[in-house]
Amino acid sequence: MTPLTAEDLGLPAKAEAPASPSGESSAADKSAADQSGAGTAKDADGEAKEDTAAKATQTASPGLVSAEPLKDSNVLDRLNVELYDNVNKGWTESIEGNGDLEYRVQLSPDGEVVGFEPLNQAARDYGGELPLAKLKQSGNPSQVAEFKVVFKASDVLEVSPWEGF
C-alpha cells in the first residue's frame, strides 16, 4: 500500500528534513524524514528522541483522529450495523468502472464518523460523491471504533471492523 502524501490530501507539503552539521541533507536523512512519525523525532541537537504522540495505541494520519481503539464487541457490532445503514442510505452513485474503493473509517462511541482515509489508489483518485464526507463530524473522542468500508465496483457495500469480528 502506498502511503498518502500531503499533496494527495490537498495539504501543504511538510518541511524539509533538518540539515546535517555540514549544512547538507544526506539521502539517508531525507529518507528517514520521509518515514518519520514511526515513533522518533529529533531534538534541537539532532539527537533522536522518543515521540510521545506515537506511543498512542492508535496512530493518526491527516484524515484520522488519534485515540484509543474501542474494543467492546457489543459496541462494535452495534456500530458496524449503524455505519453500514448510514453509508448505504447515502450511497446513490454507482462506481462501476472505478474499481473497489477501500476506506478506513473511525466512529465515536456514539456512532459519528470522526475520521476516514482512503486505503487504495482507486479511492484516492475517485472524484465522485460518497457519503463518508457528508457523514463526517468534527470531534476528538478519547476512543474510536475503526472499520474497513469497501464500495465495490459491483455496487455492493462491505463494512467490517478494522481488526475483524
DSSP per-residue string spanning 126-150 = --S--HHHHHB-----SEEEEEEEE
Scored b (16 or more CB within 10 A) or e, 6-40 reads: eeeeeeeeeeebeeeeeeeeeeebeebbeeebeee
Quote the CA–CA distance of 96 and 73 in Å, as a whole number: 34
Quote the CA–CA distance of 100 and 153 in Å, as a whole number: 5
Max mean pLDDT range (21-35, 59-73, 129-143) = 129-143
Do 80 and 70 form a contact (C-beta atoms < 8 A)? no
**pLDDT reported for residue 61:** 60
What are the boundaries of each domain within the chain? 1-55, 68-161
Element (H, E) at 90: helix 73-90
For residue 110, the 8-state DSSP code is: T
Do 16 and 29 form a contact (C-beta atoms < 8 A)? no
- Is the pLDDT at 11 greater than 80, yes or no? no
pLDDT in tens, 46-105: 454 443 333 333 445 668 999 999 999 999 999 999 999 999 999 998 888 889 999 999
Quote the CA–CA distance of 144 and 44 in Å, as a whole number: 34
Q: Which CATH class is domain 68-161?
A: alpha beta
- Is the pLDDT at 151 greater than 50, yes or no? yes
- Residue 106: beta bridge partners? 115, 146
- Is the pLDDT at 2 greater than 50, yes or no? no
Q: Which amino acid is at 151?
A: F
Give the CA radius of gyration of the chain: 18
Q: What percent of the chain has pLDDT over 70?
A: 62
